Amino acid sequence: MSSLAGPPRAPRRPETRLIHERRFVDPYAWMRDTDSPELIAYLQAENAWTDEALASLEPLRQELFDDLVARTQETDLSVPELLQHTDGRAFWYFSRTYEGREYPLSCRVPAFDEVTIPDATEVLPDELTLLDGNVMAEGHDFFALGVGEISPTGHLLAYSVDIAGDEEYDLRFTNVETGFEYPEVISGVAAGGAWLTDDAFCYVRTDEAWRPFQVWRHLLGTDPTTDELLYEEADARFWLALDGSRDWRWMLIAAGSKTTSEWRILDATVADAQPRIIAERRDGIEYDVDVATDRLFIVHNDGAEDFALAEAPLDAVSPEQWRPIFAGERGVRLLGVSGYDTALVASLRRGGDVIVRITPRTPGATVAWEVGHELGEPLSTTEEDPANGPAPARLRLIEESMVHPRRLVEYDLATGARRVLKTRVVRDHPIHGPYDPDAYRVERLWARAEDGVMVPLTVVRRQDVPLDGTAPCLLYGYGAYEISIGPTFGVARLSLLDRGFVFAVAHVRGGGELGRHWYLGGKLFAKRTTFTDFIASAQHLVEQGYTSADRLIAEGGSAGGLLVGAVANLAPDLFAGILADVPFVDPLTTILNPELPLTVTEWEEWGDPLHHADVYDYMASYSPYENVAARRYPAILATTSLNDTRVEVTEPAKWVSALREVALDQDERPILLKTEMVAGHGGVSGRRASWKQASFETAWIIDRAARHS
């Protein structure tokens, strides 16, 4: 399509789309065929051009990669987790990582008492390796596990593998104690699954649109063609997922759309049991279920925008049996609960921070929400690491912030005593020395949005970075699906901070940081607010001296890629560069096609432009691809993966082609596309491969912010 003397120019073959009497001419519609040799050749040409254009950054990329290697304790051991099996045996389960290896090992040892945490380099007596990802990945460019579930007695393991990145898995079974591999392989299943008994495993299949829609029961040692269909979801808006209870007695089937839920429960102790509905779906009502030994705990939004908590008997079949525990609090999002015999543990989001609330309880007694107490600090994240059994004496909590690495804390339910079990090691850097969290500063800023609403930002920088506009800055945003970007630690981020960068997260509407209303304020016909909130956040950083427009880089991935793509059209002069990871930049074309993966399920998030002209017009008004024009854009690096089933490679390929055709000053602000040819939505697999990918992107960020064009 072109030589390396210049960037590729994709062929233009105009096709006209006519819907609702609206006409759009799409010159790159031919790229929808992701198996086309011509498209593959074009993507390879783009890769070659990107490699040549960024060849001078190789020393910086290597330096950044070395940063990650230097700071990471590669040979390590996770904190063992105790699991009591139904045959009376107990094991400590943990994972090992080794220097130079891409994937962890899943291991276990018998638990005769509460052993101390062993040295990471030791192989313990009676230690058994359940799965070694390094061995399983041999001969494959991509490798990912979809499920790794041990059976109720601990003898059997169900595991599934994806070697393409398309999130379609092959499911297998093995006896971990004898090494016997069962002959059956169940192909084309979704991630996840749950054991009913040691003889029966349940899994989920996807339909042609990649929607998990069927639950099947497989009996080990039998032909998968004889498997029993337990449930099929007919409504194309709904996805299915499976879970099991802590006492191995129950299996749960969750059916959920973007706005509505329905759960079924199945008694694993009853042969040939069938799933029973807990509460029939009601449009707009979402609920989650946690199974305790004596009752169900139900988190729901029936009359509570930010969700309430109820309890119900194990045999509940309707919401009339739900008994209120907590009525909900506006602006404080109840995320979920774990119901143990000893405590009810709730996860809450307040003011953008995640906290844990612990309420003592005993089976059979009424739960008193008001006597609970909360754990968590401002500008940090505190989450429960759920216990495996129904009656733990101690809980595990995960704590981290922008400057404090993740640590696992043990909390004694009887005394409230805390013990740090493990803190993520940040090794000494050869230049910067030991990591010192006090060398950095975390702040919560507030930017005034276009409509006057105050939008929060979380900002981290070194203490010595001046606020005179000279610092480079990376501004990250997402803003969809009520997903919140919490204050968490990242080793790769240190490479930016130690080079004088400011790192900021704009908590724009469409996310869930400030409660359900914050999400509703950035979806459907309010979607434009997500983009203007991000612009206001960027302007605030410039106005307050944290950076300047010629040093400011925007980053977003997937739906966040839509965000930065839209912002590129709305405020191109506000940014020096835009990093768009697997960007959802041709949303209207995708959401118009119900045969594509995810489309119908997405109508509740974006609207249905196929059947509603007003939705069509609104999406067309902000679609990055359909609003490309002859203007001076920031430098753009779009990254994508050939096997991505969530945002197909077609979208960023079309977007980059359109930009390259009309964008001004491309010599100074080039438009680049990088495609992973064997990967999916999450990018490459493997630890060191992911570090190389991160180093590639970070080098581009540093380079663009340094140009001061």
**Residues tagged active-site:** 558, 644, 681
DSSP state letters, 632-695: -PPEEEEEEETT-SSS-THHHHHHHHHHHHH-S-TTTS-EEEEEESS-BTTB--SHHHHHHHHH
Query: Angle, to 10 degrees, between the axis of helix 559-570 and the axis of helix 528-543?
Result: 70
φ, ψ (nearest 5 deg) of residue 406: -60, 135
The per-residue b/e assignment along 171-207, b for 16 or more CB within 10 angstroms, e otherwise, is bbbbebeeeeeeebebeebbbbbbbbbbebbbbbbbe
Count of other CB atoms within 10 angstroms of residue 280 = 10
Q: Output the CA angle 524-529-532, nearest 5 degrees.
A: 150
For residue 509, give the DSSP letter.
B
Report the alpha-carbon distance of residue 374 to residue 366 in Å, rounded: 20
Half-sphere exposure of 598 (CA within 13 A, CB side): 15
Report the alpha-carbon distance of residue 559 to residue 580 in Å, rounded: 10
Sequence-distant (6+) residues with CB within 8 A of 65 are 691, 692, 695
Encoded amino acid at 27, one letter: P
Q: Long-range pairs for 229-236 at CB < 8 Å and ≥24 separation?
A: 230/202, 230/266, 230/274, 230/275, 231/264, 231/275, 236/209, 236/211, 236/594, 236/600, 236/601
What 3-state class would DSSP assign to 43? Answer: helix
DSSP state letters, 358-374: EEE--TTSPP-GGG-EE
Residue 58's alpha-carbon distances to 54, 147, 451, 685, in angstroms, are 7, 37, 44, 21
Half-sphere exposure of 14 (CA within 13 A, CB side): 5
For residue 415, give the DSSP letter.
T
Report the alpha-carbon distance of residue 552 to residue 572 in Å, rounded: 11
What 3-state class would DSSP assign to 447? Answer: strand
Report the alpha-carbon distance of residue 486 to residue 239 in Å, rounded: 26
Cross-strand bridge partners of residue 373 = 358
The pair of structure tokens assigned to 530 is: 């997500």
